[in-house]
């Protein structure tokens, strides 16, 4: 296990280095932030001053080396727009996004798993057909459309839900969390549901497919024959085996949800990192964009590792295979 | 449709303010304020929030004309010296008295440079090489290096900060935390929560009189549809930039009102004047020499071929003011008799024929797709209209963060000061922020000159000595009436020559719940002091 983790960590470092190159140069050839910030009355002297202030007067490779040097010290640079270390900005916004993503994950698993298992157990029933139809719809409708329709129906027409923003928060050990207050939950429901739909549809489909496969396998038949309770077969033998693909897919999907909850966050004006990224791109806040993308790469690498570890817990074959070599 | 709207509204208000007796105004804004340091950026999203807390020596009324702010009066003592009398009895939010020392400190702070600031307004001080001097606690003198008429307009862009609160503060976060956000304005800083809200509360001792709102909350809602939804369900009381497609419905709905005023932002088409323009080709795709846009008849034909009323009615939801002027009505320098060109495709074709381009040519029209109201759709419409008179037009719309670099600088490798704008025909906007035409004429009509700052918005590189002479003269003429005359002459010459092709002034709209009254501003800002309850 230790060797496995070390190998993974080294790979991750290489990936990170390549990403800094790609991201830094990629972001630096698009447009020029100076013209976004400068007012129309700003003349050449004033433009030059801005260029110097933003540190853009030096050649790009020099800028990159400085960036890399700072990165090694854990400094990802200061945001142009806010004048605050980019990492601090990201961590300031991250709890909101994490909260949203976790709420979506809980919804996706909490509703998706039972529905999928049910659909797998009774595939011919009306219920199963309905569930599968729902998952098809949830898959294929664009997220922004669902979000807007939800706002239209539940906040504008019915007036049940607040349309935008995050509710009241409570401070929990430095983390501002909103799901602990009634107002916060109220604000959380619609964006979390919107964000969870695709994941939920995926869980339903994977759970159903897994059920269909595992249900007819020999060990289930033997388990049945040896008289093990149906609930134990379902809850232990079946569940454990259908969970492997679900964990793999959700692990990656969850990373995507955190990294790019952009659409849902901007529709619901959720003050998370996704919205921050969009705002940063609009004004070409290069340090913030770069810092965020590096952060995302880092997060994916970690998630990948976690998925692999979780895997081996769920499936002993992977663990033993690794040890035999 | 919305039977229990009022109920939802009350619920939202109650939720926002536990003390139900409080008057709370919630404003849904399109862009978020990125800092509360009034010297940090020139982004209007920032300035509009800061204006509630900080004030300037010279304020701008809703038509962007200078009126007394922290200065009660100003006048030129001679050609190069201006005397500003400061308002007495004004107190900072923490109780200290406002004096000339604060003004001097503010100007020195700007002069010294705000480290890391992406765009401080310090350049307003450099214009005319201003220097400043305290005469007594309530008098300062501003000296310029030559006759310089627009001192007051420049100072209207410079928020005054408190010496005792801001001395030594270099980090903009100290303003965001409220520590240095001590102003003289109608509202006190309360909370800055990035991405979520900025809250200010009533300043009971404001010199300008009783403030109508106990608390004002700015909530950023970037998506147009979501912002409108937030208004419809009562989460916010008023929104800026309501989607233009929804304007007719909002106007008819008794639960809502819309406030409207022409903005200072002119949307215009800028021809490229180089001898050879890469994006102008004949019908076989060969680059044309000479560039046909250098012929004023071609430019006039392009103007006549545009149906500005159709753009207003079918694209802008009625919210645009077709124009030939370069500053909006009511601004210093507005020329009464200049009226938007009529739509006349036959005359346009005749002019093209006369200029020798009867068989037409091809052109690429560049523009942003996320900067101005409905910009991409306007580009498409103009392209169709031009194609109809024989000038086959292709549209290349791009995000503003790419568009402006290419428009201004062209090639990324060009040296600063030797920029070569890239586009042969582009759609851009110019906001006459200062409420008067001197810098609009100088910026858009004068010949480009990196050293003097002339023509810094002249990306087509139009050049006309008759305009240059007048523009330079206007910048040195103190007497307002003489200056206005010179500016109007320059505008008449430029527009007769079709230096560029004005389309329209944007019209600013706000949508709010019934029971609110709003005095709209030409400069697009939403100020709580201009919103009042009538229910």
**Considering only CB atoms, which chain B residues are within 8 Å of A26?**
none
Tokens of A303: 């998630």
Instruction: Tell me the C-alpha distance between B501 and B507, whole Å.
Output: 18
Domain containing residue B271:
263-507
Whether the pLDDT of residue A23 is over 80: the answer is yes
B297 touches chain A (CB under 8 A): no
Output the domain CATH number for residue B473: 3.10.105.10
Q: Is B398 on the interface with A (CB under 8 A)?
A: no
Residues 190-219 of chain A with CB under 8 A from chain B are none
What's the confidence (pLDDT) of residue B11? 41
Strands B392-398 and B362-368, sheet pairing: parallel
Mean predicted lDDT score pLDDT of chain B? 89
Question: Contact, B221 vs B230, CB < 8 A?
Answer: yes
Is B116 close to A83, i.e. CB distance below 8 A? yes
Of A8-17, B449-458, B472-481, which one has max mean pLDDT? Answer: B472-481
Is the distance from CB of B308 to CB of B440 less than 8 angstroms? Answer: no
Query: Three-class SS string for B403-452?
Result: HHHHHHCECCCCCCCCCECCCCEEEEEEECCCCECHHHHHHHCCCCECCC
Which chain B residues touch A142 with a CB distance below 8 Å?
none
Calpha distance A261→A101 (Å, rounded): 8
* Closest alpha carbon to B475 in B493, B495, B455: B455
* Out of B119, B223, B233, closest to residue A37 by CB: B119
Residue A269 three-state SS: coil
**Which residues of A are less than 8 Å from B8 in CB distance?**
159
Q: Each residue of B438-463: pLDDT tens digit? A: 989 999 999 998 888 788 889 999 99
- B187 within some domain: no
Q: Within a domain: residue A152? A: yes
Distances (CA, A) of B440 to A2, B94, B430, B433: 68, 39, 8, 9
Higher pLDDT, A235 or B99: B99
Q: Does A47 touch chain B (CB under 8 A)?
A: yes
Nearest residue on chain A to B398, alpha-carbon basis: A31
Instruction: Give me the phi and psi of B276, to 5 degrees please.
Output: -125, 125
pLDDT in tens, B194-230: 888 999 999 999 999 899 999 999 999 988 889 999 9
For residue B478, report the phi and psi dihedrals to the nearest 5 degrees.
Answer: -80, -45
- In a domain? residue A204: yes
Q: How many CA atoms lie within 13 A of A281 on its CB side?
A: 12
**Percent over 70 (pLDDT), chain B:** 94
CA distances from B290 to A179, B272, B364 (A): 67, 12, 17
pLDDT tens for B356-401 read 998 999 999 999 998 898 999 999 999 999 999 999 999 999 988 8
Angle between helices A86-121 and A273-282 (to 10 degrees): 130
Name which of B335, B395, B437, B378 is nearest B64 in CA terms: B437
Task: For helices A273-282 and A286-314, give the axis angle rounded to 10 degrees.
Answer: 150
* Residues on chain A touching B4 (C-beta within 8 angstroms): 159
Asked if residue B395 belongs to a domain, the reply is: yes
Q: Please tell me the predicted confidence (pLDDT) of residue B19.
A: 43
Task: Find which of A27, A29, A43 to mutate to test the B interface (most B CBs within 10 Å of its CB).
Answer: A43
For residue B111, give both structure tokens.
Answer: 């002069």
Question: Tell me: the pLDDT tens digits for B251-295?
Answer: 999 999 999 999 999 999 999 998 888 899 998 888 888 899 999
- For residue A101, the domain's CATH number is 1.10.3720.10
- Say yes or no to pLDDT of B3 above 50: no
Are A38 and B34 an interchain contact pair (Cβ–Cβ within 8 Å)? Answer: no
What pTM was computed for the model? 0.85
Under DSSP, is residue B265 helix (H, G, I), strand (E, B) or coil? strand
Give the model's pLDDT for residue B418: 66
Question: Quick one: average pLDDT of B167-185?
Answer: 83
Domains in chain A, number: 1
Q: What CA–CA distance (Å, rounded) separates B54 from B199?
A: 14
B444 within some domain: yes
Cβ neighbors of B535 (< 8 A, separation 6 or more) are B514, B515
Residues contacting residue B67 through CB under 8 Å, at least 6 positions apart: B58, B59, B60, B61
B409–A166: do the CB atoms touch at under 8 Å? no
Selected for mutation to probe chain B from A57, A87, A163, A268 (highest B CB count within 10 Å) is A163
CA end-to-end distance (rounded Å), chain B: 22
Tell me which chain A residues have a C-beta less than 8 angstroms from the C-beta of B235: 155, 162-165
Look at residue A35 and tell me if it is in a domain.
no
Which residue shows structure tokens 């972001």? A27
For A30, nearest residue in chain B (alpha carbons) = B402
Q: What is the DSSP string of A43-59?
A: -HHHHHHHHHHTT-SS-
In-domain check, residue A232: yes
Cα(A36)–Cα(A289) distance, integer angstroms: 15
Q: Residue B463's closest CA among B477, B480, B452, B449?
A: B449
A271 to B450: CB separation less than 8 angstroms, yes or no = no
The three-state secondary structure class of A177 is strand
B residues 245-284 lying closer than 8 A (beta carbon) to A = none
Is residue A201 one of the residues assigned to a domain? yes
Which residue in A39, A51, A275 has the most chain B C-beta atoms within 10 A of its own C-beta, making it the best mutation to test that interface? Answer: A39
Give the pLDDT confidence score for residue B413 in this predicted structure.
55
- Residues of chain B in contact with residue A46, where contact means CB-CB under 8 angstroms, are 122-123, 126
pLDDT of residue A170: 81
Selection from A236, A278, A134, A163 nearest residue B228 by Cα: A163
Q: Distance from A140 to chain B by nearest Cα, in Å?
A: 22
In terms of Cα–Cα distance, which of B225, B527, B119, B228 is closest to A52?
B119
Q: What is the pLDDT of residues A93-134, one digit of tens each?
A: 888 998 999 999 999 999 998 899 888 888 888 988 999 999
Max CA pair span of chain A: 86
Pairwise CB contact (< 8 Å): B116 & A53: yes
Token pair of B360 as six digits? 């037409």
Which residues in chain A are contacts of B371 at CB distance < 8 A?
none
Number of H helices, E strands in chain B: 17, 22
State whether residue B352 is helix, strand or coil.
helix
Give the minimum alpha-carbon distance from B51 to chain A in angstroms, rounded to a whole number: 17
Length of chain B: 535
B16 in A contact zone (CB under 8 Å): no
Question: What 3-state class would DSSP assign to B368?
Answer: strand
Which chain B residue is nearest to residue A283, measuring alpha carbons?
Answer: B401
Nearest chain B CA: its distance from A16 CA (Å): 27
Three-state SS string across B284-314, please?
Answer: CCCECCCCHHHCHHHHHHHHHCCCHHHHHHH
Question: Rg (Cα) of chain A, in Å, rounded?
Answer: 24
Judge: A269–B221 Cβ closer than 8 Å, yes or no: yes
Please give the pLDDT value at position B2: 42
The minimal CB distance from B118 to the residues A81, A157, A272 is found for: A81
> Minimal Cα distance from B15: which residue of A?
A183
Is B126 in contact with A83 (Cβ distance < 8 A)?
no
Q: How confident is the model at residue B412 (pLDDT cuts 50, 70, 90)?
A: low
Residue A316: pLDDT band with limits 50, 70, 90: low
**B334 within a domain of the structure (yes/no):** yes
User: Does residue B113 come out as left (phi exceeding 0), alpha (psi in the -120 to 50 range) or beta?
Assistant: left
- Nearest residue in chain B measured CA to CA from A37: B119
Does residue B478 fall inside a structural domain? yes
User: Quick one: closest CA in A to B172, which residue?
Assistant: A83
Phi, psi dihedral angles at B367 (to 5 degrees): -170, 165
Residue B70 has pLDDT above 90, yes or no: yes
B428 vs A contacts (CB less than 8 Å): none
Test A50 with B408 for CB contact under 8 angstroms.
Answer: no
Kindly list the residues from chain A whose CB atom is less than 8 angstroms away from the CB atom of residue B34: 81-82
What is the share, in percent, of chain B residues with pLDDT greater than 90? 65
Interval B5-14: pLDDT, tens = 333 334 444 4
Q: What is the number of structural domains in chain B?
A: 1
Contacts B402 to A, Cβ<8 Å: 30-31
Token pair for A209: 């497919």
Q: In this predicted structure, what is the pLDDT of residue A130?
A: 92
- Domain membership of residue B412 (yes or no) is yes
Query: B64: number of CA atoms within 13 Å, CB side?
Result: 27
Tell me the average pLDDT across B324-350.
93
Q: Cβ(B216)–Cβ(B199) under 8 Å?
A: yes
Contact B399, B367 (CB under 8 A): no
pLDDT surpassing 70 at residue B18: no
Nearest partner of B226 among A269, A209, A302, judged by Cα: A269
* B301 close to B352: Cβ distance less than 8 angstroms: yes
pLDDT at position B92, please? 94
pLDDT, one tens digit per residue, over B477-534 is 999 999 999 999 999 999 999 999 999 999 999 999 999 999 999 988 999 999 999 8
With respect to residue B71, please indicate whether it lies within any of the assigned structural domains.
no
Minimum Cα–Cα distance from A272: chain B residue: B195
Q: Residue A121 sits in which domain range? A: 87-252
* pLDDT level of residue B311 (50, 70, 90 thresholds): very high
A38 at the B interface (CB within 8 A)? yes
The token duo for B160 is 């005054």
For B73, the token pair is 């009066």
CA of B395, closest CA in chain A: separation in Å? Answer: 19
Distance from C-alpha of B167 to C-alpha of B105, rounded to nearest angstrom: 8
CB contacts of A176 in chain B (<8 Å) are none
Furthest CA-CA distance within chain B: 74
Q: Which has more confidence, B53 or B123?
A: B53
Q: Can you tell me the mean pLDDT for A167-172?
A: 80
Residues B118-139 have a mean pLDDT of: 89
Give the residue among B405, B398, B343, B394 at the shortest CA–CA distance from B375: B398
* A240 inside domain: yes
Residue A15 lies in a domain: no
CB contact under 8 A, B2 and A157: yes
Q: If you search the block for the tokens 């409420």, which residue do you land on?
A: B435
Q: Are A28 and A60 in contact (CB under 8 A)?
A: yes
Burial of B532 (0-12, 13-18, 19+ CB in 10 A): middle
**Torsion sign (Cα): B155, B160, B163, B168:** negative
Q: Is A46 in the B-facing interface, judged by CB distances under 8 Å?
A: yes
Q: Among all residues of chain B, which has the CA nearest to that of A164?
A: B230
Separation CA A266–CA A261 (nearest Å): 9
SS3 state at A119: helix
Place of tokens 């071609």: B298
Size of interface A-B (CB pairs under 8 A): 190
Between the alpha carbon of residue B354 and those of residues B289, B298, B336, B350, the distances in Å are: 18, 9, 30, 6
Under an 8 A CB cutoff, do B122 and A268 touch? no
Rg (CA), chain B: 24
Q: Which residue has the tokens 């700072």?
A: A70
Q: Which chain A residues have a beta carbon less than 8 Å from that of B193?
A: 271
C-alpha to C-alpha distance for B63 and B264, rounded to whole angstroms: 9
Residue A13's contacts (CB-CB under 8 Å, 6 or more residues apart) are: none
Prior bond of A3 cis (ω within 30°): no
- The burial class, CB within 10 Å (0-12 / 13-18 / 19+), for B330 is middle
């Amino acid at each position: 296990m230790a060797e496995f983790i070390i190998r993974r960590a080294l790979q991750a470092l290489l990936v990170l280095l390549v990403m800094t190159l790609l991201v830094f140069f990629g972001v630096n050839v698009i447009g020029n932030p100076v013209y976004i910030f400068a007012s129309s009355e700003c003349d050449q002297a004033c433009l030059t001053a801005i260029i110097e202030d933003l540190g853009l007067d030096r050649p790009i490779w020099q800028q990159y080396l400085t960036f890399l040097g700072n990165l090694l010290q854990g400094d990802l640079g200061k945001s142009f727009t806010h004048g605050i270390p980019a990492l601090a900005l990201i961590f300031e916004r991250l709890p909101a996004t994490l909260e949203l993503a976790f709420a979506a994950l809980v919804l996706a698993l909490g509703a998706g798993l039972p529905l999928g298992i049910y659909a797998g157990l009774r595939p011919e029933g009306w219920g199963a057909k309905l569930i599968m139809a729902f998952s098809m719809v949830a898959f294929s409708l664009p997220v922004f459309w669902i979000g807007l329709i939800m706002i239209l129906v539940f906040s504008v027409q019915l007036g049940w839900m607040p349309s935008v923003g995050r509710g009241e928060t409570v401070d929990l050990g430095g983390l501002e969390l909103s799901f602990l207050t009634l107002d916060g939950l109220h604000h959380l429901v619609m964006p979390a549901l919107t964000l969870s739909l695709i994941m939920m549809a995926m869980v339903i489909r994977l759970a159903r497919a897994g059920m269909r496969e595992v249900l007819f396998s020999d060990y289930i038949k033997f388990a049945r024959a040896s008289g093990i309770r149906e609930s134990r077969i379902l809850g232990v033998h079946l569940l454990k085996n259908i969970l492997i693909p679900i964990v793999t897919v959700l692990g990656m999907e969850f990373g995507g949800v955190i990294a790019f909850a952009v659409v849902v966050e901007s529709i619901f004006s959720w003050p998370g990192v996704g919205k921050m990224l969009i705002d940063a791109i609009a004004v070409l806040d290069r340090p913030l964009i770069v810092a965020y993308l590096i952060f995302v790469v880092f997060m994916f690498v970690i998630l990948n590792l976690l998925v692999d570890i979780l895997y081996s817990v769920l499936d002993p074959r992977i663990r033993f295979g690794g040890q035999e070599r | 449709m919305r039977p229990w709207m009022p109920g939802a509204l009350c619920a939202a208000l109650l939720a926002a303010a536990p003390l139900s007796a409080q008057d709370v105004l919630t404003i849904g804004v399109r862009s978020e304020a990125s800092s509360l340091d009034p010297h940090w950026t020139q982004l209007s999203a920032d300035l509009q929030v800061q204006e509630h807390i900080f004030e300037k020596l010279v304020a701008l009324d809703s038509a962007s004309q200078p009126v007394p702010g922290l200065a009660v009066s100003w006048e030129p003592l001679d050609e190069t010296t201006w005397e500003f009398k400061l308002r007495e009895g004004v107190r900072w939010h923490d109780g200290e008295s406002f004096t000339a020392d604060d003004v001097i400190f503010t100007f020195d702070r700007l002069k010294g440079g705000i480290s890391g600031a992406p765009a401080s307004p310090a350049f307003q001080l450099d214009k005319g090489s201003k220097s400043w001097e305290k005469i007594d606690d309530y008098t300062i003198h501003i000296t310029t290096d030559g006759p310089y008429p627009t001192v007051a307009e420049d100072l209207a862009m410079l928020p005054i900060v408190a010496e005792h609160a801001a001395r030594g503060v270099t980090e903009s976060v100290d303003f965001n935390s409220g520590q240095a956000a001590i102003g003289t304005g109608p509202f006190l800083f309360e909370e800055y929560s990035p991405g979520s809200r900025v809250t200010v509360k009533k300043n009971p001792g404001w010199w300008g009189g009783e403030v109508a709102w106990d608390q004002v909350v700015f909530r950023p809602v970037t998506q147009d549809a979501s912002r409108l939804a937030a208004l419809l369900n009562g989460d916010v009381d008023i929104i800026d930039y309501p989607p233009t497609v929804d304007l007719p419905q909002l106007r008819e709905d008794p639960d809502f009102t819309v406030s409207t005023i022409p903005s200072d932002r002119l949307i215009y088409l800028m021809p490229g004047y180089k001898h050879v323009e890469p994006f102008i080709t004949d019908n076989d795709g060969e680059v044309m020499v000479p560039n046909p846009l250098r012929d004023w008849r071609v430019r006039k034909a392009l103007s006549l071929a545009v149906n500005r009323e159709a753009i207003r009615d079918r694209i802008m939801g009625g919210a645009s003011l077709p124009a030939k002027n370069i500053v909006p009505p009511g601004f210093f320098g507005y020329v009464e008799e200049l009226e938007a060109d009529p739509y006349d495709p036959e005359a346009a074709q005749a002019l093209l024929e006369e200029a020798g381009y009867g068989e037409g040519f091809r052109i690429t029209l560049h523009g942003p797709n996320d900067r101005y109201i409905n910009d991409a759709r306007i580009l498409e419409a103009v392209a169709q209209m031009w194609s109809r008179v024989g000038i086959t037009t292709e549209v290349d719309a791009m995000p503003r963060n790419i568009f402006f670099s290419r428009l201004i600088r062209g090639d990324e490798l060009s040296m600063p000061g030797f920029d070569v704008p890239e586009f042969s025909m582009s759609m851009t906007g110019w906001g006459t922020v200062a409420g008067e035409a001197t810098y609009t004429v100088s910026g858009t009509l004068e010949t480009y000159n990196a050293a003097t700052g002339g023509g810094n918005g002249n990306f087509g590189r139009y050049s006309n000595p008759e305009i240059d002479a007048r523009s330079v003269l206007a910048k040195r003429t103190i007497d307002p009436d003489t200056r206005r005359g010179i500016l109007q002459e320059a505008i008449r010459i430029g527009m007769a020559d079709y230096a560029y092709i004005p389309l329209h002034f944007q019209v600013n709209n706000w949508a709010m719940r019934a029971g609110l009254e709003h005095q709209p501003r030409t400069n697009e800002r939403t100020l709580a002091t201009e919103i009042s309850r009538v229910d």
